[in-house]
Structure 1
């Protein structure tokens, strides 16, 4: 069975609302969940942002779903903090939690006042963090001096099965690089060619872990309303990569999105009132190799989306032979 998850977007909703949404999603038949981890929203009009790790403890206690989080160690978070957070959740909720590690966005990381590194340096820093985190989970005392510094690092809470460390990759080169160390891959939805190339780069270079696609969609009562919500809430998707990773403030991202038109968003977001169209797009990702698809409804009507997809979309994926 392919896992179809509910993505909890902290950028858009206060944590109490997200907790109610994820409970509703489980009741509606979603079989997994995922959390973003932001300090700032993408756009000034978005109205989060809760602390992901506090929220994850509450959400995992309130449901029986497996959860993941996309997080960025190395600047805002020291890797020892990420190691402690991950093992704490894994100890309380065995075999239900995974961590996707990415190189981060400047908008979340600039708060430390440290310079924002180049992409090459961010990847090198991330790779060091992976080794540090895994060593801490093995119970080792870690001293390290590189892109990150660790002095007498030790995590005193341990568990038999620590979380999987999944690579967050938007492009094929990053997915290829991650194949050597990652326990799985998460990428964002897009064109078939883009998703297939990214998954292929991971698989063809030795990546054997499960693949997750984070799928942005906008569903509403009419196509026009779905398009309006996509533009109002998620036009940052039209800011090209890697520019969106380099901008420091939501206001800067909003300024970069002034040239984005509603029609520019269709490659990054499935925008439709047709539930059948949404089911087809999810099936496309499964065909391309996704073991799990995390659905991010960018529009404001989370309850309507959860209920409609639970009744009309999710049943099609409960009898397949993936899982």
Structure 2
């Protein structure tokens, strides 16, 4: 699947989303989290008005804004708190002289940051609970381009974007350790038109036979998997080891090899629904099995930022992959 038609709409949708859930502030102050959000939002608005940046740099700037916003939400700030500051930033951008030296200096800073950013072929977007791992290296390889792993005593799962940089699919691959083999799956996402705020579930991630709290057929959007296939893939994050299978800290990992798994492909239209969620919320995959439904939760996190990163030009080549957004 080509990311070009999707990512710009997703980033703008996520930027407009609100969250009404609070949590304890971390050691940094509210200003420490607010300032990066406001500065990046100002540049996003100034660029939209003055067309200061090329398409890839503009896309990276929007992704940076979303990541800063998500960091602020994870720290306990709300969109209600941030909204007045964002309104002031937009008002300032609307009144800015597009040729002002101070604005040109910010453009140079953004372009320099983008060049450094482009030199990084991998990105880890950690939330403190889970992480999305993004990979733009070697664009023709069929690998996880954006993935959240979940490994428990019940199952090994990988969820995200799989394929090459040019064409990929929104997939979940799973192996149940008791031999369970689901015959279908669907993705459940909070319907923001029905529930204006979501639930932050701090329970450990695991497989459950009970629908997680906050989800129902009434209040959730449902996206059916298009089919099932048998694959051999990586279901765990790679760990650096020596030839004997030990990590640098002395833990034994053993042989790391792809595993047999079932693959479920979901429609990319689910991304727009995910973009509207609080980064601390979960989305849920429901597996249909002979013994009844099973449920797996995955954190939203910086999924949209990861999509934007994957859609940037491919490193090591001159191919402009997925940049005409």
Q: TM-score, normalised by structure 2?
A: 0.28
Highest RCO, 1 vs 2 (Cα 8 Å, sep ≥ 6) = 2
Structure with the greater alpha carbon radius of gyration: 2
Structure 1 or 2: more strand by fraction: 2
Q: TM-score, normalised by structure 1?
A: 0.28
